[in-house]
Structure 1
Amino acid sequence: MTTLTLRDVLADPLSASVADLDFGPDELGEGFGRHDIEMGSDPDSEADVRCVLVRYRPQDSGAAQDSSQVSAPDSAQDTDFYHRPAIFFVHGMTDYFFQAHVARSFYEAGYAPYGVDLRKCGRAWREGQTWHHVTDQSLYDEDITLVHSLLAAAHGSVVAVGHSTGGLDVTMWARRLNEAAGPHAKHKHLGAFADALAGSRSAAAELHEHLTAVVLNSPWFGLQFDAATRFAINVLIPAVARVKPTMLIPGGINPVYGRSLHASEAGEWDYNLELKPLEPRPKYVSWLAGVAKEIRRLQFTPGSTGVPTLVMTSDKHHFARRLSEKSYQADLVLKPEQMWKRAQDASPSANVVVCDNALHDIFLSPEPVRSRALASAQEWLADVFRYHWGTA
């Protein structure tokens, strides 16, 4: 376990390194380890928050990994691992990192893969917390910055990957980090960075220098509802949240999507249903107001990740109340056309890759769609390293 805060990182950006951390066994098994990062008190007044970093390194046995033994400088395997660029994956809503096949694929492609379970999500949830609850999505800036700084200190080059809500979070984190690093940073645009930065532009610039690229897997770039519902979410829900922040809202992710994924139903993935249930967990109006606010920030506040950015989507949306063949050939959650429209709000030079017949989490799509998608992402990243950074 490590105790680390955003203020610590911004005071000395690369002082703590993932190479110095001890990793314990993880539920994903052989080659995977976890390390808990304690972040202190919760701004939303629940139990103290943490995020959990999951590492994939094939030589790890799955037993507790002592950094004094497995991270010794004279270990050839260890040296190779930390010479690789790091890539870390940020999950979506009611989700956690379980995509072992994705980690293995990127390891074979030459990366050092990590996943992060954000505060109150997946492995990071603890008693006294509401699953997945934050009143402002920018609070995740702390989780993502801490992980990025730990990886940057050891690997130098870091790629951030975000899925769905995590795609929105990674996008806005990178935009705020880029803004904070610039000469004309505006306090009101910096979210959770605002107070912690305290004028330290150099720290943000150093962290941003180590961010090589951003990859977005079906990012939540627009409210996927009709006009009346969007009005209610953008105007009425924030007003209710100010008076009754813990009022529950109905609905959530269509359970048909979960049934199309999980092996106990009609899918192929055997993930932990306690950490990613088939039915949506209850959400507070203050959570929904926070998501809507972050989407408006994306759409109406100018900004850019400042690095090469890839937006990956399915070719179509399909709304279903029951499973059918179409359930395995479309995004059942979000509308790709909203992602295409807003890709340039992530970066004016963003590249968009449309994956025919892909699911909402593109890397969980049936074969051969997912292998093609993984190959597309890896080919794009190879070009980024070759043309933008001068490395193979």
Structure 2
Amino acid sequence: MGEWHPDILGGGFEQQTLPLGDDVDGEVVATVVRLRPHPGARLFGELRDTDVLYVHGWSDYFFQTDLARFFTDRGARFYALDLRKYGRSLRSDLAPGYVASLDVYDADIAAALDAMATVREGRRLVLFGHSTGGLTLTLWAARHPGVADALILNSPWLELQLGPLGRQALAPLVNARARFDPLGTHPVVDLGFYTRAQRDLGTLPDSPEGWRPAQGFPTHPGWLAAIIAGHARVASGLDVGCPTLVLLSARSTVALSWSDAMRETDSVLVVDDIARAATRIARTVTISRVEGALHDVFLSAPEARDAAYAALRDGMRGLA
């Protein structure tokens, strides 16, 4: 087992580096962060037999301390995974966030679960994914039935912003380019409006340089082909094998130019398409639409953020 060290978040957060060997870019690692419950919650909290594993979205890393404490205040052990080439796991000689298949993350998640010792200790496992992390965990849970006891998805990227027809039309072009130029460049389409909305609301802390760029990481054909393949798997129907809670904003805003509505809507995904896609991933799916929420519902303005936590509390009771 690896060693735990103090994390940049302070306040009882610790991290452990998880060696993963080499991938197409070279040597890679993942990083797991933990926050243990305080003694009273560990003994008497309703989630004292539960471990939570959180996975971030695209161009992101774990920094949501309030979310961690939501679970540890109820007795759960909380862990978050910075996947290879993200955040704490990013190395200067690697293409940020790049993978050619989302199945690659099986190794990252397996290493995190080993560090958590959840299975060995017979504890319940709740998977919690945001955006691209939501897609990653959805696919992982479907490939590993019976491991997770519940799945929570915060604005999961389950469908391309062009919708099913647009995805099907684009896929052959993306796949063709991915075969001969997987690390080629794409035009920048993120204009930084989502980051601006969070900064305006004061919900985005300062990040170490390069960990969360305002306009996202550069994207590449090989990576986009992997995302589209994941969306196609969702569209064809799958079963994550456990009750699932999906949290979404009530509305989306097209991010072609700045508008004040971006402070209270999802300016990243088309939430109606995500809600439809979510019905194809499990036998039991609860979808909660949060009025006034951003793409990360827990980084919204106070009223919407409170509503998101209330939905999470209710959802956890139902999942239990």
Common topology (TM > 0.5): yes
In the alignment, structure 2 segments of 5+ residues that lack a partner are none
Match in the other structure for 1:348? 283
Computing the radius of gyration from Cα coordinates, the structure with the larger value is 1
- Amino acid corresponding to residue 110 of structure 2 in structure 1: T
Distance 2:201 2:156 in 1: 25
Helix, strand or coil: the match of 2:149? Answer: strand
Match in the other structure for 1:31? 12
Cα contact 2:241–2:282 (8 A) shared by 1? yes
Q: What's the CA shift string for 1:57-97, capped at 9, x where partnerless?
A: 366xxxxxxxxxxxxxxxx6797499541112100000100
RMSD value, Cα: 2.3
Q: Structure 1 residues 86 and 353, CA, compared in 2 at 3 Å: closer, same or farther? A: same
Match in the other structure for 2:35? 56
Distance 1:288 1:155 in 2: 37
Q: Structure 1 residues 244 and 30, CA, compared in 2 at 3 Å: closer, same or farther? A: same
Distance 1:167 1:227 in 2: 18
Q: How does 1:177-326 map to 2 (within 5 A)?
A: 177-178=144-145, 208-209=146-147, 211-225=148-162, 230-231=167-168, 233-262=170-199, 267-272=202-207, 273-300=209-236, 302-326=237-261
Q: Does 1:382 pair with 2:320?
A: no
Distance 2:164 2:231 in 1: 15
Distance 1:130 1:102 in 2: 29
Q: How does 1:10-159 map to 2 (within 5 A)?
A: 21-42=2-23, 45-57=24-36, 80=43, 83-151=48-116, 152=118, 153-154=120-121, 156-159=123-126
User: By how many angstroms is 1:140 displaced?
Assistant: 1.1
Q: What's the CA shift string for 1:79-124, capped at 9, x where partnerless?
A: 7499541112100000100111111122223322111100111101
Match in the other structure for 1:182? none
Helix, strand or coil: the match of 1:116? Answer: strand
- Amino acid corresponding to residue 382 of structure 1 in structure 2: R
Distance 1:227 1:51 in 2: 32
Distance 2:314 2:201 in 1: 31
Helix, strand or coil: the match of 1:295? Answer: helix
- Amino acid corresponding to residue 118 of structure 1 in structure 2: L
Cα contact 1:106–1:378 (8 A) shared by 2? no
Distance 2:246 2:201 in 1: 28
Does 238-247 or 143-152 show the bigger shift?
143-152
- TM-score normalised to structure 1 length: 0.75
Q: What's the CA shift string for 1:292-344, capped at 9, x where partnerless?
A: 011111112x4201111111111111013444331111100001111111112
- Amino acid corresponding to residue 175 of structure 1 in structure 2: A
Does 249-258 or 86-95 show the bigger shift?
249-258
Distance 2:73 2:312 in 1: 13
- Deviating above 4 A after TM superposition, structure 1's stretches of 4 or more consecutive aligned residues are 76-83, 226-229
- Amino acid corresponding to residue 32 of structure 1 in structure 2: F
Helix, strand or coil: the match of 2:294? Answer: coil
Q: Does 1:161 pair with 2:161?
A: no
Q: Structure 1 residues 252 and 109, CA, compared in 2 at 3 Å: closer, same or farther? A: farther
- Amino acid corresponding to residue 126 of structure 2 in structure 1: V
User: By how many angstroms is 1:370 displaced?
Assistant: 1.2
Helix, strand or coil: the match of 1:317? Answer: coil
Cα contact 2:37–2:73 (8 A) shared by 1? no
Does 128-137 or 147-156 show the bigger shift?
147-156
Distance 2:231 2:144 in 1: 17
Distance 2:170 2:88 in 1: 30
Q: What's the CA shift string for 1:338-379, capped at 9, x where partnerless?
A: 111111221032111111111101111111111221221122
Match in the other structure for 2:140? 173
Match in the other structure for 2:270? 335
Does 316-325 or 98-107 show the bigger shift?
316-325
In the alignment, structure 1 segments of 5+ residues that lack a partner are 3-20, 60-75, 179-207, 386-392
Q: Structure 1 residues 309 and 229, CA, compared in 2 at 3 Å: closer, same or farther? A: closer
Cα contact 1:252–1:281 (8 A) shared by 2? no
User: By how many angstroms is 1:217 displaced?
Assistant: 0.6
Distance 1:247 1:328 in 2: 33
- Amino acid corresponding to residue 285 of structure 1 in structure 2: P
Cα contact 1:32–1:58 (8 A) shared by 2? no
User: By how many angstroms is 1:280 displaced?
Assistant: 2.0
